[in-house]
Structures are given as structure tokens and as C-alpha cells.
């Protein structure tokens, strides 16, 4: 049970202020429970905090102030407090930052009240104008959901008077509604499908795991289209029947819409949604309802993991290998690992679903830490696509052309049969390099150690590191020669240009994250394509993730070798996953699919593993290599990135850290570096990296803390510690 503190007794309050300690206050009139959200005075301000425990009593008691008031929200449970502490310890994040993660909803301190909401009315406007049409379109897109005046005005890009005008005519209805209402109840028996034997066996295991009421993690592996989603929705159903809550994490907002439709078909109502595209009002509602049990299922992005669930019984991490689960800015955490941590504290189950698991999860399953379930065949008539290499050494291609004659012939064959083809290249923009043919200068970002990428659609050069953009210059910035700048190498936009020349009669759709203004626009385009609104889909990484294109029977990978070039620890693993995922897009309906991979190194072991589909052997070989090198998941890594406006300053600190390594030596860890980080300058800051490598069982984080604590960060210096780094930039 949570402790209760009588009025006037000392309590420790955790706030979101960047202090590395709790602050003592006196409990307010009526007392307060541990975990209560409170408002406290701090200097002249009032700030929000959480009653973390008894006061420390190390502050002059005559100066200790009282808590102003206890907020009208459900207190934070011990389970979430523990989780925040342990996640903070693991990622070496101050508790104030952890609390910020857990309170990312606005207006929590406001009292429940009524507000005006707007939804589609039944009347017709007397006269249709563009602004009016936009308002009605936004509301139509929302289905039955309502918005506040401000949200609607912003989404439609109109002034509030336009909306008020529509209200007068009955085309938009205005209602008083209580804030933060509960979500519609989900019915676990509403629309289940009859499962295949394979699927049923897997579902049984998950149902039993949920019935146990204990912690457990399951790796649910199965090729794209094998019914993993159907199976884990059964686990969600079992969780709901037990009166517990479930969370489904998806790697990409663009996947949410399709998924919500599936949930509605399965459970008869829509679940709560949590991601960056959700309005502030809705966020607050989700946050509150999750804490009260008025939201049974949340579908969302990684940060949903920090919501105050009343009783989280099941977390699904779909596409668990996806790199976007690792947050790379601010608090550096991996949502997949944190999901497992939270479940282990709260007696929950975790399902990690993937066609191509991360080596970490594969190894955990191999070691018996995770349960392993496999679905081996695709559902129904569809079979895995046939995969073949196109050896580019034998293809006749003019320079600045990337679609080989062999691939082009296959695409034509599909077009003739009225089927869809996809051309995949994992590069945004038009061309990765802009070079001056007079002096050889490559146009770089002024703030980063990175090349500027031409985006012809935007008619600009863009830095993919910091977002800096400039119009494409007419003259070389270095030698000032006119009209000598040339685009080198392919990007998705350039590939689209080539496809338009090769297949003039075909309808092309280009899917790249930066070509769409909003998640909604992207979703609309994806739906249009799925219905047959395009003949050739040209896309980046974005198309590899989970979208269903039933008419698609051919996938052509333009550059299969691209991911293998880096020195990244995970280059092989990533390429394997990405290629299998992309290939898995083909032939998801009755017609069989083919995946063709253009490569200059068909003999490369990774390419061969991808083609043969011999996954177990690929994982085993990859695991062996990592084990021999003591690399994750068989050893531990932490990256320390030091940055400053002065390169020397960062290097000096790096050298000092490498010398004063006693705390790390105690645990037998090794330090590599300091070295310039692979991208040595980002946003004008010079970056220096140290890598710390340790054996698996040692207490790495306390040693890292003790080590880092020896150094003061003066002036412009910053230090970020990344535990289990995923990207090595």
C-alpha cells in the first residue's frame, strides 16, 4: 500500500525541474498519499510534482514550505514509480527527465470541466468556400471524433469565424461536453477470426501466459502475412477479459490508421491513440483515462510506454526489430527493452512480433529467457515471394541509370498483367551528392560533417543531419564556376524520374517520408495505392513497414549493397532485416510475388543468406561473430558522445576521461577512443566519441556514473551517454 502523509509531515517531492534530487515540502491540509500529483511553490512559481516518499529532512525546517494542493488526478502507482526509477538507472537519466516522460499531457493540473467541442453537423452551408470546404473535410476525416475550436481552426487552416459561420448554418455542430471522457468499451468476443492450427497453437500459449498473471516475454516470429497480428489480437482479447489493459506499440505513425481499423473490426470500437499526431486535448484524455481504467487498449508510439496505466497486463511491440524504437534524442532509451522492464515490474506479458527479429531478441529466445513462437507459413493462398539476385556486373547500364534491363523487363511484364511493381531504394531526396565538375568540390552542410542532399521536389539542398536547407546554388560555392554542379548517385526522386522515362505509360506513386505534409496525407496515398491507384510504387524505407498492397507482385531492390558498406556493428543484421521486409511486401494476396535484388556482390554472405531464406543459419553465424568479439548481445557497449563548439575542448575532455578510467577498470571494462564521432560535426558542434565495452554480467551503469562524475562540464561542453547504442553516428 502507498504510504499516507498527515498534514504537516515532511514529504519528498519529485518535480520536472532539472535538479538531481527531490525537494522537501510539508504535506498539505488533509494530508496526501505517496504518488499523489501535487502543486508546490518553487521560488515565485508554482510547479507540478509527485509525492515520492518521506521527506529527507536535510533542509532547514523553518524554511520548508507546504504543498499548495493535491491535483485531481489518479496518484502515480508504485509500479510506475519503480519503473521510472529503474529505467532512469538503466539509461543514466536524471529522475526529473523521467518524470517529464511520464507527464507528457497538457493541463493535468486543471480541474475537470466542460468545454465546447465541434463535430460534423447535418446541415449544408449556403455557399461553399475553400476555407469552409477544408473545415468539413477535416471533420469528415475525423469520423465521429470531435475537436476543440482551436484544434479545428488549426487543422483546417482557417480562422475561428469560419467555423462559427458553419455552426450557424448547422453544417458543424457545437456541443458542451465534459472533458476527458472514457473510451468506448472493447468487446473481446466481437469479431474474432477462425484461426489456423498454427495460429491457434500460438494463441493458446499466449492466452495461458496471460492467465498466469505473471511476467513473461514471448518472441512471436513469423513471415509477413502469417497472421502475427491476428494472433496477438487474441492475446489482447484475453487481457481485456481479465480486466487488465493492453498496449500495442507500432514503429511508424503511418501504420496506425490501418491498425485502428483492424482493432475496430476485432473489438467493435476504436482504442485510445497516442503519438505525435494526436491533439493535445486528446492526449490529456488518454493520459487520464489510462490512469482510471477508462482506456482498455492504447495503440501508439514508444512514448506510450510511460503512460500511467492502471493495470498494464500486456504490451505488444510490433516489428520489434525496428530501429525507431530507440529514442536517439533526449532520454536515450529503447522502447522494446523498456517494455520488458515495465512488464517485469508490473506482472505483465510482452509480445515481441517480427518477421526478422533483432539479434538481441533472437539471442534472448535462444538462451531461454524469452518464449519463442513461430508461424511458418503465410495465411491462405499467399506464399513467400521468390527471391533472386540480379548480378549488376553483367548488366549493361549507362551512367546515371539504376534500373537494370533485367529488372525493367520484369516490371513491364507486371504492368502488362495489370499488377503492381515496387522499386525500392533506401535514400531520400534526388541525389546524395552534388559535385562541381570544374573543381571536384562536394557541397557540404555548413554546420555538419555531412553532404547536402539535393531534393528536387523541394528545389533545395537539404542536410539530413540537421535539416539545414538552401536553394540549389547556380555556381559552385568553392570555385564559383557557373552551371558545373552535377547530381551524383540515386535517391528516390531521381529513381522516379528514371522510371517515368522507362515506363511512360505507367502511373507512378512516390512514397518517401519527406514528400508528405502530414501523416494523414501519407495514409490517404497508401490507401489509394492499395486500391490500385498506381502501377509502380517507388519508395524508401517507409514502404518496407507493414503496409498491405494486395496487387503488388514484384519488388525490385535498386541497391541491395547499400547497407553493407558502413562499419556499423549491425550492418549485416539491418540489411538482412530490411531486404526481407521489403521482399515481404510482394505477393500478399493470391498472386505469388517475386523479389529481385540488384547487387554487385551476389556472393556476399549476407546477400546469400537473404536469398536462401535460411534465417536460422544467418542468425547463428551472426551470433557467433558477435560472441567471439564480445559484442552485444553477448557483451555490453556504451557510447559517450562529447560535443562542443570547440573541437579541442571535446578532445581534451575525451583524453582526460580515457586516462582517469579507474571506475571502469574496476569492472574490467575497456575504453576505445576518444575519436572523432563518425559524423564529426552536427549543428555546428564538434563531436568526439568514446566507446566503453564490458562483459555481460557486470554492473556497467554505476561504473559509468562514477566515471563520468569525475568530470565537470564547463562552458559549451556536453556529454551524452548512450547505453546499448544502436546507431553509431
Task: Give the binding site for ligand ADP (CB under 6 A).
Answer: 193-196, 199, 222, 224-230, 379
Nearer to Zn ion, 382 or 465 (CB): 465
Nearer to ligand ADP, 193 or 665 (CB): 193
Number of Cβ atoms within 10 Å of the Cβ of 466: 17
Closest CA to 637 of 694, 687, 678, 688: 694
User: How many CA atoms, within 13 angstroms, populate the side-chain half-sphere of residue 499?
Assistant: 29
Q: Look at residue 225 and give the partner it binds from Zn ion, ligand ADP, none, a contact being a CB closer than 5 to 8 Å depending on partner kind.
A: ligand ADP
Q: Look at residue 361 and give the partner it binds from ligand ADP, Zn ion, none, a contact being a CB closer than 5 to 8 Å depending on partner kind.
A: none
Cell of 305: 510506454
Closest distance to ligand ADP from the beta carbon of 227 (Å): 3
- Is 630 in contact with 669 (CB distance < 8 Å)? no
Closest distance to ligand ADP from the beta carbon of 199 (Å): 6
**Residue 208 CB partners (closer than 8 Å, separation 6+):** none
Nearer to ligand ADP, 250 or 332 (CB): 250
Closest CA to 317 of 345, 339, 346: 339
Nearer to Zn ion, 304 or 462 (CB): 462
Q: Look at residue 468 and give the partner it binds from ligand ADP, Zn ion, none, a contact being a CB closer than 5 to 8 Å depending on partner kind.
A: Zn ion
User: Residues 438, 439, 441, CA angle at the centre, nearest 5°?
Assistant: 120
Bridge partners (DSSP) of residue 594 are 386, 554
Bridge partners (DSSP) of residue 15 are 49
The SS3 call for residue 258 is helix
Q: Look at residue 193 and give the partner it binds from ligand ADP, Zn ion, none, a contact being a CB closer than 5 to 8 Å depending on partner kind.
A: ligand ADP
- Is 469 in contact with 460 (CB distance < 8 Å)? yes
Closest distance to Zn ion from the beta carbon of 433 (Å): 15
Q: Look at residue 463 and give the partner it binds from ligand ADP, Zn ion, none, a contact being a CB closer than 5 to 8 Å depending on partner kind.
A: Zn ion
Could you give the CA distance from residue 221 to residue 206 in angstroms, rounded to a whole number? Answer: 13
Closest distance to ligand ADP from the beta carbon of 382 (Å): 8
Could you give the CA distance from residue 17 to residue 87 in angstroms, rounded to a whole number? Answer: 18
Could you give the CA distance from residue 558 to residue 539 in angstroms, rounded to a whole number? Answer: 11
Q: Look at residue 97 and give the partner it binds from ligand ADP, Zn ion, none, a contact being a CB closer than 5 to 8 Å depending on partner kind.
A: none
Nearer to ligand ADP, 385 or 490 (CB): 385
Nearer to ligand ADP, 111 or 194 (CB): 194
The SS3 call for residue 139 is helix
Nearer to Zn ion, 81 or 464 (CB): 464
Bridge partners (DSSP) of residue 11 are 25, 54
Nearer to Zn ion, 349 or 465 (CB): 465
**Residue 584 CB partners (closer than 8 Å, separation 6+):** 223, 224, 225, 355, 384, 385
Closest distance to Zn ion from the beta carbon of 684 (Å): 8
Q: Look at residue 222 and give the partner it binds from Zn ion, ligand ADP, none, a contact being a CB closer than 5 to 8 Å depending on partner kind.
A: ligand ADP
Could you give the CA distance from residue 550 to residue 648 in angstroms, rounded to a whole number? Answer: 56
Q: Look at residue 230 and give the partner it binds from Zn ion, ligand ADP, none, a contact being a CB closer than 5 to 8 Å depending on partner kind.
A: ligand ADP
Applying CB under 5 A, the residues found at the interface with Zn ion are 445, 447-448, 463, 465-466, 468
Nearer to Zn ion, 246 or 450 (CB): 450
Q: Look at residue 720 and give the partner it binds from Zn ion, ligand ADP, none, a contact being a CB closer than 5 to 8 Å depending on partner kind.
A: none
Rounded to whole angstroms, the maximal C-alpha distance in the chain is 85
- Is 627 in contact with 419 (CB distance < 8 Å)? no
The SS3 call for residue 7 is coil
Nearer to Zn ion, 466 or 719 (CB): 466
Q: Look at residue 445 and give the partner it binds from ligand ADP, Zn ion, none, a contact being a CB closer than 5 to 8 Å depending on partner kind.
A: Zn ion
Closest distance to ligand ADP from the beta carbon of 224 (Å): 5
Q: Look at residue 229 and give the partner it binds from ligand ADP, Zn ion, none, a contact being a CB closer than 5 to 8 Å depending on partner kind.
A: ligand ADP
Q: Look at residue 228 and give the partner it binds from ligand ADP, Zn ion, none, a contact being a CB closer than 5 to 8 Å depending on partner kind.
A: ligand ADP
- Phi then psi dihedrals of residue 278, to 5 deg: -85, 140
Cell of 613: 531464406
Nearer to ligand ADP, 224 or 644 (CB): 224
Nearer to Zn ion, 441 or 520 (CB): 441
Number of Cβ atoms within 10 Å of the Cβ of 419: 19
Closest distance to ligand ADP from the beta carbon of 492 (Å): 24
DSSP 439: T
Number of Cβ atoms within 10 Å of the Cβ of 95: 21
Cell of 683: 549543428
Could you give the CA distance from residue 341 to residue 344 in angstroms, rounded to a whole number? Answer: 5
- Phi then psi dihedrals of residue 39, to 5 deg: -110, 130
**Residue 255 CB partners (closer than 8 Å, separation 6+):** 545, 546, 547
Nearer to ligand ADP, 101 or 530 (CB): 530
Q: Look at residue 428 and give the partner it binds from Zn ion, ligand ADP, none, a contact being a CB closer than 5 to 8 Å depending on partner kind.
A: none
Strands (E), 186-333: 216-222, 245-249, 272-274, 297-300, 312-318
Closest distance to ligand ADP from the beta carbon of 254 (Å): 16
Amino acid at each position: 500500500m502507498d504510504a499516507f502523509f498527515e498534514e504537516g509531515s515532511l514529504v519528498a517531492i519529485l518535480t520536472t525541474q532539472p535538479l538531481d534530487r527531490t525537494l522537501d515540502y510539508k504535506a498539505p491540509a488533509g494530508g496526501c498519499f505517496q504518488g499523489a500529483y501535487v502543486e508546490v511553490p518553487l521560488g515565485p512559481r508554482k510547479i507540478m510534482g509527485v509525492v515520492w516518499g518521506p521527506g529527507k529532512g536535510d533542509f532547514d525546517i523553518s524554511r520548508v514550505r507546504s504543498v499548495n494542493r493535491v491535483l485531481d488526478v489518479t496518484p502515480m502507482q508504485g509500479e510506475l514509480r519503480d519503473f521510472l526509477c529503474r529505467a532512469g538507472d538503466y539509461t543514466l537519466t536524471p529522475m526529473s527527465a523521467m518524470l517529464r516522460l511520464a507527464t507528457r499531457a497538457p493541463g493535468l493540473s486543471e480541474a475537470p470541466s466542460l468545454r465546447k467541442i465541434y463535430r460534423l453537423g447535418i446541415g449544408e452551408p449556403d455557399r461553399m468556400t475553400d476555407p469552409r470546404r477544408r473545415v468539413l473535410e477535416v471533420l469528415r476525416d475525423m469520423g465521429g471524433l470531435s475537436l476543440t475550436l482551436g484544434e479545428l481552426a488549426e487543422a483546417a487552416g482557417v480562422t475561428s469565424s469560419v467555423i462559427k459561420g458553419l455552426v450557424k448554418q448547422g453544417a458543424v455542430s457545437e456541443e458542451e461536453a465534459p472533458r476527458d471522457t472514457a473510451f468506448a468499451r472493447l468487446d473481446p468476443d466481437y469479431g474474432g477470426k477462425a484461426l489456423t492450427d498454427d495460429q491457434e497453437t500460438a494463441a493458446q500459449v499466449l492466452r495461458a501466459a496471460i492467465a498466469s498473471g505473471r511476467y513473461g516475454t514471448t518472441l512471436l516470429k513469423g513471415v509477413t502475412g502469417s497472421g502475427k497480428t491476428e494472433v496477438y489480437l487474441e492475446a489482447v482479447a484475453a487481457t481485456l477479459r481479465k480486466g487488465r489493459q493492453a498496449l500495442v506499440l507500432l514503429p511508424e505513425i503511418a501504420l496506425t490508421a490501418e491498425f485502428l481499423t483492424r482493432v475496430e473490426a476485432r473489438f467493435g470500437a476504436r482504442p485510445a491513440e497516442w503519438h505525435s499526431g494526436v491533439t493535445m486535448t486528446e492526449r490529456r484524455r488518454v493520459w487520464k483515462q489510462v490512469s482510471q481504467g477508462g482506456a482498455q487498449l492504447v495503440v501508439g508510439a514508444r512514448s506510450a510506454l510511460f503512460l500511467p496505466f492502471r493495470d498494464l497486463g500486456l504490451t505488444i511491440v510490433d516489428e520489434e526489430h525496428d530501429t525507431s524504437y530507440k529514442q536517439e534524442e533526449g532520454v536515450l532509451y529503447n522502447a522494446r527493452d523498456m517494455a520488458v522492464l515495465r512488464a517485469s515490474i508490473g506482472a505483465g506479458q510482452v509480445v515481441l512480433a517480427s518477421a526478422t527479429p533483432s539479434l538481441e531478441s533472437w539471442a534472448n529466445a535462444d538462451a531461454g529467457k524469452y518464449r519463442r513462437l513461430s508461424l511458418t507459413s503465410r495465411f491462405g493462398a499467399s506464399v513467400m515471394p521468390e527471391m533472386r539476385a540480379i548480378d549488376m556486373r553483367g548488366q549493361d547500364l549507362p551512367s546515371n541509370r539504376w534500373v537494370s534491363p533485367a529488372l525493367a523487363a520484369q516490371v513491364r511484364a507486371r504492368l502488362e498483367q495489370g499488377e503492381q511493381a515496387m522499386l525500392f531504394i533506401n535514400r531520400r531526396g534526388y541525389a546524395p551528392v552534388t559535385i562541381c565538375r570544374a573543381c571536384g568540390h562536394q557541397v557540404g552542410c555548413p554546420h555538419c560533417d555531412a553532404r547536402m542532399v539535393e531534393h528536387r521536389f523541394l528545389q533545395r539542398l537539404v542536410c539530413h543531419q540537421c535539416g539545414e536547407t538552401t536553394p540549389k546554388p547556380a555556381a559552385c560555392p568553392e570555385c564559383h564556376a557557373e552551371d558545373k554542379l552535377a547530381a551524383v548517385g540515386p535517391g528516390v526522386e531521381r529513381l522516379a524520374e528514371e522510371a517515368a522515362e522507362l515506363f511512360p505509360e505507367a502511373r507512378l506513386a512516390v512514397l518517401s517520408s519527406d514528400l508528405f505534409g502530414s501523416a494523414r496525407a501519407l495514409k490517404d496515398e497508401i490507401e489509394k495505392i492499395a486500391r490500385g491507384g498506381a502501377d509502380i510504387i517507388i519508395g524508401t524505407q517507409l514502404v518496407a513497414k507493414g503496409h498491405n498492397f494486395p496487387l503488388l507482385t514484384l519488388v525490385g531492390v535498386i541497391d541491395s549493397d547499400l547497407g553493407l558498406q558502413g562499419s556499423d556493428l549491425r550492418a549485416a543484421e539491418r540489411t538482412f532485416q530490411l531486404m526481407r521486409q521489403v521482399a515481404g511486401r510482394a505477393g500478399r494476396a493470391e498472386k505469388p510475388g517475386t523479389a529481385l535484388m540488384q547487387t554487385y556482390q551476389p556472393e556476399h554472405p549476407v546477400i546469400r543468406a537473404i536469398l536462401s531464406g535460411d534465417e536460422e543459419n544467418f542468425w547463428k553465424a551472426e551470433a557467433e561473430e558477435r560472441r567471439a568479439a564480445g559484442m552485444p548481445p553477448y557483451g555490453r557497449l556504451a557510447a559517450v558522445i562529447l560535443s562542443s563548439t570547440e573541437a579541442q575542448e571535446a578532445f581534451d575532455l575525451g583524453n582526460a576521461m580515457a586516462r582517469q578510467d579507474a571506475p571502469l577498470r574496476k569492472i574490467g571494462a575497456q575504453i576505445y577512443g576518444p575519436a572523432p564521432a563518425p559524423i564529426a560535426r552536427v549543428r555546428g558542434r564538434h563531436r568526439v566519441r568514446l566507446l566503453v565495452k564490458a562483459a555481460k554480467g557486470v554492473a556497467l551503469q554505476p561504473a559509468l556514473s562514477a566515471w563520468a562524475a569525475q568530470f565537470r562540464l564547463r562552458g559549451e561542453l556536453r556529454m551524452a551517454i548512450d547505453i546499448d547504442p544502436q546507431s553509431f553516428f
